[in-house]
Amino acid sequence: MRFEESGRPGLDQLEPVKQRILGLIEEMKVAHPERLRKAYNEHYREGQKIAWITLRKYLDQLKNEGKIREEILSKGKKRTISLIRANF
């Protein structure tokens, strides 16, 4: 298994996590990133929760692969509100 500088597995090594996230998006039909994070933590994490930046990396990777699309509703200095949908 290949590791990043931080000692964690590389994102390309963690396909099952991306598939879980994609499954939750398909189940929820439309998801806000924060609700998606909460649902992921409830379903798949028991003690340690997934970090926001880690989830964002997975979402960006899925978006680049064309599996999801993200619609930005409003963009501010500190917060961006968006909707995430699965591409079928």
Q: Tens digits of per-residue pLDDT, 56-72? A: 898 999 999 999 998 88
**pLDDT-based confidence at 12, cuts 50/70/90?**
low
- Percentage above 70 pLDDT, the chain: 84
Burial of 24 (0-12, 13-18, 19+ CB in 10 A): buried
- 63: helix, strand or coil: helix
Every domain of the chain and the residues it spans = 11-86
Q: Do 3 and 9 meet the contact criterion of CB atoms below 8 Å apart?
A: yes
Task: Give the span between the Cα atoms of 33 and 39, in whole angstroms.
Answer: 10
**Which listed CATH number (3.40.50.720, 1.20.1250.20, 1.10.10.10, 3.40.50.1370) goes with 11-86?**
1.10.10.10
